[in-house]
A and B are shown apart, each in its own frame.
Chain A
Amino acid sequence: MSDNEVLRVTDLNVFYKNRKRKLFSNNKKIQALFDVNVAVEEGEVLAIAGESGSGKSTLARAIVGINRDYTGEIWQKYADPQMVFQDPYSSLNPSKKVRWLLEEPLRVDRTRKWSPLEMDKRVYEILEEVELPVALLDRYPSQLSGGQRQRVCIGMALMKSPKLLIADEPVSALDVTIQAQILELLENLHKKHGISIIFISHDLRVVYKISDHVLIMKDGRVVEYGETRQLYRSPQAHYTKSLLKAAGIV
């Protein structure tokens, strides 16, 4: 265990309520993750890859604290990890303007009070960071394109300068050209501020481009973990091989 870690997940088991439960059956819970161990180092990009239902999002949601029903340990060096959601169409409150959305994390900041002037300044800083024009501040999310919305989401996540950012399939809902732009934005932010990023994706080509380490998951278990280039060159697990093959990489 190095001192360099920002996140260490030890023997994590996550449970969901069993919604299909019959009245007298015993299994109240469904286990979604089984003994997951993973660590993220300061300033690295960890990719979590795997098919739908493999537990990628469950892991992310447990780390940020949305899924509270777990056993095991989640240790974090810094408080308040932030998350960018998959669907930019549902992750922005439709009744609020962009400026309001960006200011909200500061308004509810418990660690300090932000004056209106500071808030304004921070909003413009972030706007520049995520490369959005100032004119968008007075628009509603419904008036933005998918790419613009995702930039707003990233901006919201960055408002309080988090040290760990979890991007849950941030480009899956976008078309290909916009995907490239958003990925580039994430990479730039990563390089500029040294934010650690957990990047969740089912697209192994994107993973290769962006990540330092990869965690391959299947059915709630970790299949393989390793340095990205190394793992792509010589995958050990059978499942990893088939994934790479399906993506047309090997």
Chain B
Amino acid sequence: MSKVGKKLKKNMRDNPYLAAGLVITGMVLLLIIVGLFWTPYEPTAMNAKEKLSGISLRHPMGTDNMGRDVLSRVMYGSRITLFIAMGTVAIGAFAGTIIGAVTGYFGGMLDEVMMRIIDAMFAFPSILLALVIISIFGTGWVQLLVSLGIAFVPSFARIVRGEVLRCRNMDYVENARLQGVSDLRMIFVHILPNIKGVLASAILIGFNNAVLAEAGLSYLGVGSQPPYASLGRMLSDAQQYMFTTPSYVLCPGIVIVLMVLGFAFLGEGISRWK
């Protein structure tokens, strides 16, 4: 067995968070991966005779108000949700980290100017900001992903800047500077690895927020377009049938919860990795 495999096995045993995170995330991923190749029904196929049926053998998660199979739609929708959330966090974390690290490290005028821009972006709720960007570039999931990504940049930039500011005056940074380490190498090789824990939790919180923001925007009709739907979209569609057919709202909801929970556990487990 490889070295990494051994370590993973040991960590799985001592670290319940990691184990739980891997299992839950694995379940959701399995659902998504299977959904890539096979779904019980066509996610868009309607059946007027079986509208809003509850959980049954024919429809393990019931059907929606147009008689579409909820399991099939969940399999398809969780893929969209995962993709948008990951893309959003990836854009936000990447750009935010670079902006935060550079401004925090160098300080001075650059820092002042960048931070005022970030402050201005903070003044808008991120959903509103995303809406503005979408209204410029049009609707669709690519636009949604990019605009949410941009809306997520300020929070990452803030967090990373604060952490870099904290590390910048540590003795080990000065020690490295004496050895002739250049500024860029200092930021990316010496300082950033020390804030990966904070960054990891920021990414996980960001992931949760992205799932919610995507749901909110889809509700407003600017996210994924019908007939396909992300989990958030399904949830908002389902809310008027909450009492007549609870399975319709519960099933996508539970998948969102599992997705978020799995990643949260995974993050906690990774931060305790030994």
Contact = CB atoms under 8 A, between A and B. Distances in A.
A96 B173 CA distance: 13
B36 interface: no
A247 B31 CA distance: 73
A148 interface: no
Contacts of A94: 172, 194
Interface residues of B, number: 17
Interface string B152-176: 0000000000000000001110111
Nearest to B181: A108
Nearest to A100: B189
A108 B193 contact: no
A83 B179 CA distance: 9
Interface residues of A, number: 25
A42 interface: no
B190 A93 contact: yes
B171 A85 contact: yes
- Specify the main secondary structure of chain A where it touches its partner: loop
Contact of A105 (B172, B180, B194): B180
A94 B167 CA distance: 11
A81 to B, nearest CB: 8
B59 to A, nearest CB: 51
B176 A104 contact: yes
- Specify the main secondary structure of chain B where it touches its partner: helix
A80 B178 CA distance: 8
A153 B176 CA distance: 11
Nearest to B171: A91
Interface in A73-121: 80, 82-83, 85-87, 90-96, 104-105, 108-110
B174 A95 contact: no
Given A104-B181, A108-B185, A66 B174 contact: yes
A225 B185 CA distance: 41
Given A66-B177, A93-B176, A93-B190, A108 B182 contact: yes
B194 A156 contact: no
A82 B176 CA distance: 10
B176 A83 contact: no
A105 B179 contact: yes
B171 A87 contact: yes
A90 B171 contact: yes
Contacts of A64: 178
A91 B179 CA distance: 13
A90 to B, nearest CB: 4
Interface string B16-29: 00000000000000
Contacts of B190: 93
- Most chain A CB within 10 A, of B172, B190, B196, is at B172
A92 B180 contact: no
B178 A93 contact: no
A152 to B, nearest CB: 11
A91 B172 contact: yes
Interface of A: 64-66, 80, 82-83, 85-87, 90-96, 104-105, 108-110, 153, 156, 159-160
5 contacts: A85-B171, A90-B172, A104-B181, A110-B180, A153-B175
